[in-house]
């Protein structure tokens, strides 16, 4: 395993994309608990982008940051947890938000974290709730989204589907 500057282990074969100049990037973290459920948090109703929708932990990559630096920073800021290990790149998506600010590229990763998974330190009021989602709970991730706008649902469903025996 290699180590990034934040000391999070990165599994062999995990190759984050390299953003081109001028591209706007975001990162997302699918975090699993010991029961093979994925963490999601509800965005506050006052948020300009995807208000009152379920989301994975993540956010925009700041100037000068690598994708992995941003991933580690966002997990710490939004939950208080520390990324211990980046298991794999789940995928890259290009999307346009409903805030009129244009196209973004998003790299989503499966990560392991250290911290009390029962007590995330949410950024109130940016996030107003959290829950753990297993295969039987996935439809809740579609709340307040239009048909076809199921990025978070599809991302978590794919991560859970790929787990051997439902756990990893």
Structural domain harbouring 84: 2-11+24-162
Q: What's the pLDDT score for residue 96?
A: 85
Quote the number of domains for the chain. 1
- The rounded mean pLDDT for the chain is 91
Under a CB-based contact definition with an 8 Å cutoff, are residues 114 and 34 in contact?
no
Residue 6 — pLDDT band, cuts 50, 70, 90? Answer: low
Closest CA to 109 of 74, 135, 133, 65: 74
In a domain, 38, yes or no: yes
CA–CA separation, 78 vs 122, rounded Å? 5
Sign of the CA dihedral 152, 155, 158, 164? Answer: negative
Q: CATH number of the domain that 82 lies in?
A: 3.90.79.10
- List of E strands, the chain: 2-3, 9-10, 25-31, 38-43, 54-55, 57-60, 82-96, 103-114, 127-133
Kindly report, residue by residue over 57-114, the tens digit of the pLDDT: 999 999 999 999 999 999 999 999 999 999 999 999 998 876 777 899 999 999 999 9
Q: To the nearest 10°, report the CA torsion of 134, 136, 137, 138.
A: 90
In a domain, 19, yes or no: no
Kindly report, residue by residue over 29-50, the tens digit of the pLDDT: 999 999 999 999 999 999 988 8
Question: pTM for the whole thing?
Answer: 0.91
Q: What's the pLDDT score for residue 164?
A: 62
């Amino acid at each position: 395993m290699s180590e990034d500057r934040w000391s999070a282990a990165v599994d062999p074969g995990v190759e984050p994309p390299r953003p081109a100049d001028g591209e706007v990037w975001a990162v997302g973290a699918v975090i699993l608990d010991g029961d093979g459920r994925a963490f999601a948090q509800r965005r506050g109703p006052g948020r300009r982008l995807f208000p009152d929708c379920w989301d994975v932990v993540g956010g925009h990559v700041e100037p000068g940051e690598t994708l992995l630096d941003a991933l580690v920073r966002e997990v710490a800021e939004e939950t208080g947890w520390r990324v211990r290990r980046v298991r794999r790149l789940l995928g890259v998506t290009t999307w346009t938000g409903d805030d009129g600010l244009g196209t973004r590229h998003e790299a989503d990763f499966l990560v392991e974290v250290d911290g009390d998974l029962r007590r995330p330190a949410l950024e109130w009021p940016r996030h107003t709730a959290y829950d753990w989602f297993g295969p039987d709970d996935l439809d809740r991730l579609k709340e307040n989204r239009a048909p076809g706008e199921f990025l978070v649902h599809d991302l978590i469903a794919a991560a859970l589907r790929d787990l051997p025996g439902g756990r990893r």
